[in-house]
Amino acid sequence: MKGLRTTIVAALMLTTVTVSAQKPLTLENTVPGGSEFRKHYNAPAYGQFAGNSDIFIATESDGYHIGDAIISPKQIDKTLTDNQKQHMSYIVGWQNAEMVWVYSKKGSAAYAINLKTNTIADSITQIDDDGETDFSPNFKYIAYCYGSDLYVAGRNGSRKVNADSLPGVVYGQAVHRNEFGIEKGTSWSESGRLLAFYRMDESMVGEYPIVDITEREAAVKPIRYPMAGDTSHEVQIGIYNTDNQNIVYLKTASPVNRYFTNIAWSPDDKLLLVAELNREQNHLWLNVYNATDGSLVKTLFEEKNPEWVEPCIAPLFISNSQFVWVSERDGFKHLYLYDINKSTCKQLTRGNWCVTDLYGCNRASGEIFFQANAEGYLTRDIYKVSPKGKTTRLSNGYGVHSARFSKACGRFVDDFSAPDYAILSTLRNASDGKVIDTLKNVRNTYEGYTLPIIKTVNLKSADGRFDLCGRLILPADFDSTKTYPVIDYMYGGPHSQLVDASWLYGASTWKMYFAQQGYIMFTMDNRGTESRGVEYEHCIHRRLGTCEMEDQMVGINYLRSLPYVDTTRIGIHGWSFGGFMTISIMLNHNTEFKAGVAGGPVCDWSLYEVMYGERYMDTPQENPDGYARNCVADSIGRLNGRLLVIHGDIDPVVVWQNSLRLLQNAVEEDVLVDYAVYPQHEHNVIGPDRVHLFKRILQYFDDFLK
């Protein structure tokens, strides 16, 4: 396996998607939510593996493909009565290739439909959820949430799991504001007998006002939003036994200022692993608990880091006692094999590259399957590693590969994308990566349209230690003897990589439309973004925006060196962390930018939530200088160019108070800031309104940059 490349493959390489065509790009076909966007979206092949088998059931417009047979959605829906169904009830799981489960909210039930007999073979009733449903692996139960309560529905109806219903207490939902890879609040054991769930007590967290203007008199619908430095919520982990309906809670350390993440069941239902962090997030304990009485069995190991420890991938068991753990302890994210009984540890992968996802394991062979960027940090490939540490690459072709494995890891779907290849989904053998079938093959989702020219750029970070990759999108009719205005689109925050070796080098398709309007579009990933190792990622600690801005200015200086860039017409745009970056750069380099657009920006990190904010900045009490230095709301008086700030009025992620505080200070400083609000939108403007958003952004740059 190759080491991390320090040079970009095909630097300044032109993609081969430029074609001579007549159709122009539009916002409707390049912006999600646009009326024509879906037919150009490079989605992978839809479908899922059936139960415990290696049979992949592909989902297309004409139905569900099982071998040579095609099962029509209408055929499935006709099995249900009018009282049981709503228009085309949706599939929630395939028990096997002959039995499919569909869920109907109208019928408040899930139905198992036998495809051979076209009859209802089984059902789980009385489901009245208002969130995600979670099927048990044996398809006997469904866990779901309604309001603040957790329910489990089975053949005999539905049962409320929690005995109490207290103000500010939530059961079965994701906790810690979905940080640490937490996507849901329940976890079934492999047998389907036991259900681990979160109990989150938010009663000590103040209610933050979110105003709903759709009612005759605007109504306050508060959320619990713990801000950096303030009191946070308290979490417990319970285990519900479907046999006797009993609940035991894990006997963890005090839930005060403690985070509980990465829950994993042992295959025999006896043990539950939990990664626990202190509030500072620089000390982790991986603890083993007895699932019968909730007692602590042992602490397997501890991990510490001066900046932070951030577990985002749950342990993966390969036997009742052995599991795989993902850690950055050697400076890069790698796989480690642990044995609970022997308390032994072995590092399985190593090198100056990162494991980027963990897919599963074949328990018969002990092989573990994962994704990594070992062939270069723009790429992603699929690998397997044996318990002895032998690593084999299963994917081929320069680009980005992601995988969906069957439960037993006998087969997988490889979803491949490259700069000049939109999507190629193939079914492969997990043993050797050989292709069994091609599920979807679309080289260019904009065939017949005039597309821009795309280049990659290789630069050095401001400290000279790291390679940075940028992407240039040039108008299709680009003339190097002319000069063009530039829009630098940035994000720059943790857990991001905007430039990679996928379709169009990772560019959102609306950027192609902007290029069609005569702009050069530029994007570059800076230090602090993901999957490059601890030294690259942790430089942001206690000073968010500092080294990120230094690197982004390297990109700006590169743009200024290009003879075809009009250096008097450079604009910047970003959303969320990118909105914060946009304002930061415009204030700290206030003579270099003519216009900027900042969406959903963090304007004061002390107003951001506990988990994310304190991981990177510590608390405002511990790091007052860091918070003050990066508070763009307090520095708005330095604004020179034109700035448009956009915010959703019910944003629960970056609360509206951020940009309102900036606007208030701008008025007091007698600085003009342009401002736009999207009513009833949260952190992102989605749906058809997103087309309106980009019309507004383009018009702003046309007015003040072009």
The β-bridge partners of 272 are 265, 289
Give the residue among 307, 194, 294, 220 at the shortest CA–CA distance from 253: 294
Q: Measured in whole angstroms, how far is the alpha carbon of residue 648 from the centre of its chain? A: 20
DSSP per residue, 148-165: TEEEEEETTEEEES-S--
Which bin fits 291, alpha (ψ -120 to 50), beta or left (φ > 0)? alpha
381-385: strand order across its sheet: 355-362, 367-372, 381-385, 391-393
H or E element that contains 240: strand 234-241
Cα gap 204→225, rounded to integer Å? 11
| Rounded distance between C-alpha atoms, residue 555 and residue 562, angstroms | 11
The two three-digit tokens of residue 455, written as one number: 């280049």
Question: CB burial class (10 A; 0-12, 13-18, 19+) of residue 169?
Answer: middle
**Pairwise CA distance, residues 276 & 263, whole Å:** 10
CA quadruple 686, 687, 693, 695: dihedral sign: positive
CA distance 554 to 462: 6
**Backbone phi and psi for residue 340, each to the nearest 5 degrees, phi listed first:** -65, -45
Q: How far apart are CA 601 and CA 572, in angstroms?
A: 13
Look up residue 600 and give its amino acid.
G
Q: Which residues are catalytic?
A: 576, 651, 683
